[in-house]
Amino acid sequence: MAELSFGELLRSHRAAAGLTQAQLAEQAGISERAVSDIERGLRTHVYPVTARSLAEALSLADEARDGFERAGRAAPRRPTEGPPFRGGIDSEGWRAARRCAMIGRGDELSGLLEALDRDTGRPHTVTGPGGSGKSRLAAEVAARYVDAGMTWVSLAHLRNPVLVVPTIAAATGLPHNASHTALADRLEAETALLVLDTFEPVLTAAGDVAALIDLTSHVRVVVTSRAPLRLRGEREWPLRPLTTADGVRLFRERARAARPGLDLDSPEAAAAVEEVVRRLDALPLAVELAAAKVRFLPLDSIVSRLVRPLELLTDGERDLPARQQTMRATVAWSYDVLSAEERMLFRRLSVFAGSWSLGALQRLCAYDDVSTVAASLGRLCECALVQPLDGDVERWRLLDPVRDFAAEPLPAAGERESTVHRHAAVVADLAVPAAAALLGTGQRLARAQLRWDNGNVRWALGHAIEHGDTDIALRVAGAVWPFWRMEGAFEEGRRWLQLALQMPGSAGSPHRPTALWGASWLALGQGDHAAAAEHGNELLARSPAQDIDHRNALTILGHVEMAEGRYPEAATLLKQALETARAVGSRWHHATSLFNLGTALLHLGDVSQARRLLERAVAEHEAVGDLHFTARSLVELGYASLIAGDPQRARSCLIVALQSFLRLGERWGLAETVAGFAVLAAAGGQAEAAATLNGASEGTYADLSAQLIRPDAALGEPFLARARSTLGERRWQACTAHGRLLAIEEAARLALDLRMV
């Protein structure tokens, strides 16, 4: 009887043990592909360490084990004739990756090549989430070093870290058991660049690689891995998702390759492509998988299916590794190495919309101390499942396809409802004090936090309204409305507040007054005086005298009167509000009441008293650190100074206000101030500048679904009317149309360049 080959012997023992190829591979710490190749005779050279691992996994008795390992050692080896095998230079890895052009990553490529020229003898590790293009970047680097000597070693098939150095040795043409010194000598002699691709399955072999590197003097080493090796001297090159522009280029190229002649240039198609790229966070593999769907799906269908991206992002190219043929497999490659505790944290992160802070995560998962949650979060970052935000900010996020994967186990774990409810409570606990800080010295930090957490606020409000949690809905919406107004989100803010105010039980909630106050202000900003009056009257009826809510109600109703041109009635109400604020002792409310009453008196013709009140409002807002209302008070003081015949003072006030709103990044405030500059230009005889700036302000207000408050419009109308008459209707309309096309920031720069004549 002919002697069995090693592959046949392996198949026989595996069948006797009742194991599948996958089960044997997992127990032996090698890949399923390796087991399959050995059994089919495609892989004839087997390392002793591999034979021993297989024998242990098969639980072979001593005699059978010796025979099995002898068969492995006797397996035919590759011929030694011809040039030495050079590290996969002709293997599928790096050449296959370069069949398609690399889009984006130009800065990363240049930086890595420059560093390799400068820094030898240290690992340069390209890290990033699955599908971010690590191997593609490494292949581009490898192509530059082929002539000088390049050794490419793919480690994706390994699971046993012990096999890493033998695999490198084989790639250089040495025996698997070559010493570190012999291997280092071979690398020094023949290899300018060593690429170790897909290192994350064998991270614990990092020390062996470091020992090998230390024995060389000029070999350059590039590693690709979802996690850094954490070696001394390592230089990490983290890959973030592509820019939106590069993501669009990638989608267009891959889509046209899949379906030549597809219209991607129409406005509708271009918008759909950009939406796909944005929804997929411009992650290269995700974009490529989505682009391939144009073979049988229209673009709008691809967009609609991105509600569940993992269900769409399948069927990758057949010559890709299995882990990259679906987005689910790519994420699972990292997820599978997590501990049970890390998996629990990962799935709970899926409830965050956008990004989160360490404090929010600690509260959500009820960790006792921040160091514990930081350690677990660090592990998820190392596995490239969680991405730190760029810049000097301690916040993290999940890419959208990864978030979809993380959310799937929540229901099965019985944690979805409790986690989502806790998330809403955490958002309320963090957003409410941040919103309160909008009125003081912490304004800029609070606005930054609320901008970061805007997605979480929306998520929490949606959950609270859907599940009837009236307290959280009114508490969050009632607190956050000043942020919506500053951001110019009038339409969104009114919608959330209206939904919260209509919820069952809202009439008796202690948070209803602040929600009414916010709803009335946002209605006023959109010119809906009836809704503002309705909310203001309810607030007045609910609030006792000498209470801050009473002051707020008087203020709202005073502004409604002023917006409708009833200035004596407005002044009476706003004077009462000022007296109430003074009695209550709230410095911020007192400063704002000075501003409100000063505006009313300006319309009544008491310009000198109005200027005094507005100057006090500026000073008191500066004292409490409110940049927003300091700037708004300066705008009103600018109008008062212009009416008083002091255009230089008016210009100084408007310049300071405009610079403040630019620093705050506040489009609504910029539109208000640019409107003031339009009036100033009209008063100075610069009619074309007045029309252009007025058009820019109107255009921005339209974008924000808001309008210039009527009292300020009334103050400026006589000046603008004269300029319009001087310029002529046709020219005025042309300049206004040009202004509407300007970004408000560009219009602001034009306003700052305006000179008095």
Mean pLDDT confidence for 520-527? 93
In the chain, where are the structural domains located?
6-74, 92-238, 244-329, 340-411, 420-591, 626-752
Tokens of 33: 């592909």
Res 461: pLDDT:
95
Res 86: pLDDT:
42
Which conformational region is residue 323 in: left (phi greater than 0), alpha (psi within -120 to 50 degrees), or beta? alpha
User: Which range, of 83-92, 497-506, 661-670, 687-696, averages the lowest pLDDT?
Assistant: 83-92
- Which of the listed ranges 67-76, 652-661, 698-707 does the model predict with the highest average pLDDT? 652-661
Q: Is the pLDDT of residue 160 over 50?
A: yes
Mean pLDDT confidence for 221-226? 92
Mean pLDDT confidence for 39-62? 73
Distance of alpha carbon 483 from alpha carbon 485, whole angstroms:
5
pLDDT tens digits, one per residue of 59-110 = 888 778 888 877 776 544 333 333 333 443 334 467 777 878 888 888 899 9
113 contact partners, CB below 8 Å, separation of at least 6: 141, 144
Asked if 47 contacts 176 with a C-beta cutoff of 8 angstroms, the reply is yes
pLDDT tens digits, one per residue of 232-289 = 889 999 998 888 899 999 999 988 888 888 888 899 999 999 998 998 888 888 888 8
Mean pLDDT confidence for 523-542? 94
CATH architecture of 626-752: Alpha Horseshoe (1.25)
Mean pLDDT confidence for 641-666? 94
Res 308: pLDDT:
79
Q: Where are the beta strands (DSSP E) in 239-377?
A: 355-357
Q: Is the pLDDT of residue 27 over 90?
A: no
Res 84: pLDDT:
36
Distance of alpha carbon 67 from alpha carbon 217, whole angstroms:
43
Q: How far is CA 401 from the centre of its chain?
A: 13
560 contact partners, CB below 8 Å, separation of at least 6: 524, 529, 532, 533, 536
Report yes or no on whether pTM surpasses 0.85: no
- Could you tell me the strand order of the sheet in which 220-225 lies? 150-154, 193-197, 220-225, 123-127, 235-238
Res 315: pLDDT:
66
Percent of the chain with pLDDT over 70: 93
- Which of the listed ranges 43-52, 67-76, 297-306, 611-620 does the model predict with the highest average pLDDT? 611-620
Long-range contacts of 72-80 (CB under 8 A, 24+ apart): 72/6, 72/46, 72/48, 73/48, 74/6, 75/5, 75/6, 75/44, 75/45, 75/46, 76/44, 76/45, 77/44, 77/45, 78/44, 78/45
315 contact partners, CB below 8 Å, separation of at least 6: 289, 292, 325, 326
Residues linked to residue 355 through DSSP beta bridges, in sequence order: 397
Helix (H, G, I), strand (E, B) or coil at 699: helix
CA neighbours within 13 Å on the CB side: how many for 111?
A: 13
Asked if 388 contacts 358 with a C-beta cutoff of 8 angstroms, the reply is no
Q: Mean pLDDT in the chain?
A: 87
Number of neighbours of residue 260 by Cβ within 10 angstroms: 7
Packed helices 180-190 and 206-214: angle between N→C axes, nearest 10 degrees: 60
509 contact partners, CB below 8 Å, separation of at least 6: 470, 471, 474
Res 378: pLDDT:
86
Q: Is the pLDDT of residue 452 over 70?
A: yes
Asked if 469 contacts 424 with a C-beta cutoff of 8 angstroms, the reply is yes
Q: Which residue has the higher pLDDT, 145 or 739?
A: 739
CATH architecture of 420-591: Alpha Horseshoe (1.25)
Res 46: pLDDT:
60
What is the DSSP annotation of 411-475?
A: HHTT-HHHHHHHHHHHHHHHHHHHHHGGGSTTHHHHHHHHHHTHHHHHHHHHHHHHTT-HHHHHH
Asked if 127 contacts 226 with a C-beta cutoff of 8 angstroms, the reply is yes
Packed helices 667-683 and 744-752: angle between N→C axes, nearest 10 degrees: 40
291, 294, 298, 299: CA torsion to nearest 10? 20
Q: Is the fold of 340-411 the same as that of 626-752?
A: no
pLDDT band at 565 (very low <50, low <70, confident <90, very high): very high
pLDDT band at 707 (very low <50, low <70, confident <90, very high): confident
pLDDT tens digits, one per residue of 462-502 = 999 999 999 999 999 999 999 998 888 999 999 999 999 99
Q: Is the pLDDT of residue 310 over 80?
A: no
Mean pLDDT confidence for 106-133? 88
Asked if 483 contacts 445 with a C-beta cutoff of 8 angstroms, the reply is no
pLDDT tens digits, one per residue of 368-404 = 777 778 888 888 888 888 888 877 778 999 888 888 8
Res 48: pLDDT:
64
411, 412, 414, 418: CA torsion to nearest 10? -20
Top CATH class of 340-411 equals: mainly alpha
Which one is the CATH code of 92-238: 3.30.300.30, 3.90.198.10, 3.90.1640.30, 3.40.50.300?
A: 3.40.50.300
pLDDT tens digits, one per residue of 339-357 = 888 899 999 999 998 899 9
Residue in this structure with the two tokens 């004077």, named with its chain if needed: 575
Mean pLDDT confidence for 579-584? 94
Measured in Å, how far apart are the chain's first and last C-alpha atoms?
A: 110
Asked if 453 contacts 428 with a C-beta cutoff of 8 angstroms, the reply is no
- DSSP annotation of 132: S
Res 237: pLDDT:
92
Number of neighbours of residue 452 by Cβ within 10 angstroms: 18
Helix (H, G, I), strand (E, B) or coil at 182: helix
C-alpha distances in angstroms, 102 versus 287, 318, 493?
Answer: 13, 19, 43
Q: Is the pLDDT of residue 540 over 90?
A: yes
Which one is the CATH code of 6-74: 1.10.240.10, 3.10.20.600, 1.10.260.40, 2.30.110.10?
A: 1.10.260.40
Tokens of 753: 């360049």
